[in-house]
Amino acid sequence: MEGRRIKVAAVKLFGIFSDGKMHCLMRAVRNMRFEPEDTPPKALSLGLGMQMAGISVAGIIITPVVVINAAGVEGEYLTWAVFAALLVSGVTTAVQAVKVGAVGAGHVLLMGTSGAFISVCVTALAKGGPGLMAMLVLASSLVQLLFAAKLALLRRIVTPVVAGTVIMLIPITVLPIVYEMVTQGEDRSEMGRGAICALVTLLLSVALAMRARGALRLWTPMIGVLAGTLACAFLGLFDPTPIREAAWIGVPEVPWPGVALEFSPAFWALLPAFIMVTIVGMIETIGDSIAIQRVSRRTPLSPDYRVVQGAVYADGLGNFLSGAFATVPNTTYSNSVSITELTGVASRDVGLFVGATLFALAFFPKFAAFFVAIPGPVAGAFLMLIIGLLFSVGIKVLTREGIDHRKAVIVSVSLGIGIGFQYGMIFPGLLAGWVGQLLENGMTSGGLTAILLTALWEALSPRRLKYEGALQPSSIAQIEDMLREFAGKRGWSASAANRLCLASEEVILNLLGDRQSIDMPARYIRFTLREVEDAAELEYIASLGEENLENQILLLSDTPDDRHEHEVSLRILQSLASRVQHQKYYDIDIISLKVRRASGAGGGT
C-alpha cells in the first residue's frame, strides 16, 4: 500500500492530474429519449413497434417469393414459406430484444429473411426441393452457432474496420433496389405520378426528421408513409384489390414440407456455399449489433461484445428455426439502427412489440397484404432516407479508433471492390456459378475483401511476444521484465520504458481487483506484445468482473477531491496509454493498450 501512495504522489508531481483536474473524453449526449432499459408508455412502444414491423414486413415476404418463383417450385409451398418466415422473424426479433440467457442482443434489432441467401436457396430448391434447402440451412446454422460461441477468436479478423466497411456497403448494395422502386411504372405518365408520391414522402419525412420535436418526431416514419400513400391513392396508383381478396384470419392449409435428412451429393456440393453466405450474414449481424449499441445510448460507451455474441446467437437461432420450418434463412435488418437513431427510442419494449406484430401478421393475411400493397415509390422514398443514414453509422463505427494508413488501405480497397462487383464492373461474365452470384453482391465481395486484407495484415505484422500463466501479483514483475527487454532492444528511453511498465502494472492490478484473496481461485492470463510504428501494443486476455475498464475510464468524474484509489489507478492508466480498449465476451475479457514511445502521448481511450 505504501508503494501505491508513493506512485500516486509521483504521478501528481509530474502533472498528470493537470492541477487537480483531468479532462475526460467529452460525453456526447444524444437526443435519445428512451434507452434499452427504459420503459416508454405502452401506446408509444406499440405504435413504434407496428411502424417498424410495417416497414420490414414487405422485405420479409418478398424474399421467399423471389426465391420460390425463381426456382420454379410448384404448388402451395409459397404460402407456407411466407407464413413460416413471418413466424421466425417475429420470434427472433423478440428474442433479440428480451435476451434469453446468452441468446439475443438486448437491443432493438429487427430480424427478417436475408437477400444474401437468394441465389444459393434457388439452387437448392431447384436441385432437391424444400427438404434439401431446409437441411442445408440447418447445417450452416450450426456453424454460425459455433462461431458465436468462439467469437473472441475472430477478433483480429472481424474488427471495427471490417464492421464499419460492411455497414457502409449496405446502402451501396440496397440503394439500386430502392431507386428501382421509386422509378417503377409502365409508362411516362405512371412514372411521373410515382415521382410525385415519392417526393411527397421524402420531403415530408426529411422535414419532420430535421424539425419535429417530442412525440411528433417519433411518428415521423408513419406520417411520411401515410402521406405518400394518400398521394398515390389520389393519383390512382394505389390498388386495394389484394387487401380486399385476402382473408382476415388464417393459416396455410398445406403440410410442413419437412427436412431431407440425407447427405446426398447435392448437399455436399452446396454446403460450402451456404456456409460462406452464413459467414457473410454473421458479419452483417456483428456490424449491426455494434452500430445499435452506438445509437442506443445518451452517453457513448465502448461496444459490449457480449451483446455482439448474443446477436449472433439469435441470428443462428433464426437460421436454425428457418431450416426446421423449411423457409429462407433470416438475418438482422440494418434499418432498425437507422430508425432507432431517427426516433430516439431504443427501448427493448419496442423490439418485443415488433416481434409480436410480425408473429401476429402470420395469422392475419389481410394486414400483411396491406403492408405489401404500399406503393413502391412510397416505400422506396422512405427507405432512401433510412438506408442513407446507415452510411454515417458505418463511418462512426469505422473512425471510433482513428484511421491510420493501414485502415485507409483496407477500407478504400474493400469499398472499391464492393462497388465494382455491385455494378458489374469487375470481371463481368467471367465468374460463373454460385461464386459469381455471391460476389456480385457488393456487401459480400467488399466484406470478404476487408476480412482477407485484415488477415493479410496480421500475417505480415511483426511477431507478437507472449507470456502465459496464472493471474497473480507475481505476473507484474514477469511481464515487466519482458517489457524492459522489449524497450531496450528497440532503443526506447528509460522514461518511455517506465511508462510502458507502469501502464501494464495498472492493467494487471485492475484485472486482479479483489481476487487477491486466498479464497479466490487463480485466474489464467495471456499477454502479447508487439511494436506498431512508434508505439507498443499490449493485449491481456483473462477473466474479469462485470465492469468494463474502458467505460470506467470514459466515465471518470472530473471532481479532483476525495478520489477513490481505484479511480486514481484509472486516471494513471488514462494518462499513460494513447488507447485503451476492453472487449467483454461471455468466456473471456480482452484488454488492449497502445503506449507511444514519445512522452505526453497518453490520455486517450
Clarify whether residues 363 and 284 are in a common domain: yes
Give me the amino acid identity at 577. A
Q: Please compute the mean of the pLDDT values over residues 425-443 and round it to a whole number.
A: 66
Question: Does the residue 602 lie in any domain?
Answer: no
Cβ-Cβ contacts under 8 Å for 392 (sequence gap 6 or more): none
Would you state the pLDDT for residue 52?
A: 82
Question: Does the residue 4 lie in any domain?
Answer: no
The pLDDT-based confidence of 398 (bands split at 50, 70, 90) is: confident
Cβ-Cβ contacts under 8 Å for 367 (sequence gap 6 or more): 360, 361
Angle between helices 335-343 and 42-71 (to 10 degrees): 160
Cβ-Cβ contacts under 8 Å for 150 (sequence gap 6 or more): none
Of 175-179, 186-190, 349-353, 375-379, where does mean pLDDT reach its minimum?
175-179
Clarify whether residues 213 and 299 are in a common domain: yes
Separation of alpha carbons 284 and 290, rounded Å: 10
pLDDT at 319 over 90: yes
pLDDT digit string (tens) for 176-231? 766 776 777 667 777 788 888 888 888 888 887 777 665 566 567 667 778 888 88
Clarify whether residues 500 and 441 are in a common domain: no
Separation of alpha carbons 315 and 337, rounded Å: 16
Question: Does the residue 30 lie in any domain?
Answer: no
pLDDT at 379 over 90: no
Question: Does the residue 274 lie in any domain?
Answer: yes
Question: Does the residue 601 lie in any domain?
Answer: no
Clarify whether residues 475 and 337 are in a common domain: no
Clarify whether residues 218 and 240 are in a common domain: yes
The pLDDT-based confidence of 318 (bands split at 50, 70, 90) is: very high
pLDDT at 414 over 80: yes
Average pLDDT for the chain: 75
Percent of the chain past pLDDT 90, that is, above it, reads: 7
Range of the domain at 509: 462-596
Q: Please compute the mean of the pLDDT values over residues 121-145 and round it to a whole number.
A: 87
Separation of alpha carbons 245 and 28, rounded Å: 51
**Rounded to the nearest 10 degrees, how much is the dihedral formed by the CA atoms of 80, 110, 324, 284?**
120
Structural domain ending residue among the three candidates 458, 479, 506: 458
Provide the 3-class DSSP secondary structure of residue 150.
Answer: coil
The pLDDT-based confidence of 593 (bands split at 50, 70, 90) is: confident
Separation of alpha carbons 147 and 391, rounded Å: 27
Percent of the chain past pLDDT 70, that is, above it, reads: 75
Q: Mind giving me the DSSP string for 228-258?
A: HHHHHHHTT----HHHHHS-SS----S----
Structural domain ending residue among the three candidates 432, 458, 484: 458
pLDDT digit string (tens) for 240-279? 876 777 778 877 777 788 887 878 777 877 777 687 678 7
Cβ-Cβ contacts under 8 Å for 192 (sequence gap 6 or more): 185
Of 88-92, 140-144, 565-569, where does mean pLDDT reach its minimum?
565-569
Higher pLDDT, 27 or 567: 567
Total domains in the fold of the chain: 2
Would you state the pLDDT for residue 213?
A: 63
pLDDT digit string (tens) for 3-47? 444 444 434 333 333 333 333 333 334 466 787 777 788 888 888
E strand or H helix at 266: helix 265-295
Separation of alpha carbons 63 and 69, rounded Å: 10
Clarify whether residues 576 and 433 are in a common domain: no
CB neighbourhood size of 343 (10 A): 24
Cβ-Cβ contacts under 8 Å for 346 (sequence gap 6 or more): 32, 34, 35, 36, 107, 108, 292, 295, 296, 297, 340
Would you state the pLDDT for residue 221?
A: 65
Clarify whether residues 505 and 365 are in a common domain: no
Question: Does the residue 186 lie in any domain?
Answer: yes
pLDDT at 549 over 60: no
Question: Does the residue 20 lie in any domain?
Answer: no
Q: What angle do CA 89, 92, 95 make, to 5 degrees?
A: 150
Would you state the pLDDT for residue 217?
A: 60
The pLDDT-based confidence of 87 (bands split at 50, 70, 90) is: very high
Would you state the pLDDT for residue 300?
A: 66
Separation of alpha carbons 584 and 591, rounded Å: 9
- Exposure b/e, 123-158, CB count within 10 A at least 16 = b: bbbebbbbbbbbbbbbbbbebbbebbbebbebeeeb
Cβ-count burial of 186 within 10 angstroms (0-12 exposed, 13-18 middle, 19+ buried)? exposed
Separation of alpha carbons 338 and 345, rounded Å: 11
pLDDT digit string (tens) for 335-348? 777 778 777 777 88
Clarify whether residues 197 and 234 are in a common domain: yes
Clarify whether residues 436 and 567 are in a common domain: no
Separation of alpha carbons 577 and 603, rounded Å: 6
Structural domain ending residue among the three candidates 406, 437, 458: 458
Would you state the pLDDT for residue 325?
A: 92
Would you state the pLDDT for residue 556?
A: 47
Angle between helices 305-324 and 265-295 (to 10 degrees): 140
Separation of alpha carbons 601 and 144, rounded Å: 41
Higher pLDDT, 317 or 35: 317
Would you state the pLDDT for residue 177?
A: 63
The pLDDT-based confidence of 74 (bands split at 50, 70, 90) is: confident
Provide the 3-class DSSP secondary structure of residue 491.
Answer: coil
The pLDDT-based confidence of 577 (bands split at 50, 70, 90) is: confident
Clarify whether residues 435 and 494 are in a common domain: no
The pLDDT-based confidence of 316 (bands split at 50, 70, 90) is: very high
Clarify whether residues 164 and 256 are in a common domain: yes
Within its chain, how far is the Cα of 427 from the centroid?
30
Question: Does the residue 292 lie in any domain?
Answer: yes
CATH number at residue 582: 3.30.565.10
Clarify whether residues 503 and 578 are in a common domain: yes
Higher pLDDT, 562 or 200: 200
DSSP assignment letter at 36: T
Would you state the pLDDT for residue 5?
A: 42
The pLDDT-based confidence of 473 (bands split at 50, 70, 90) is: confident
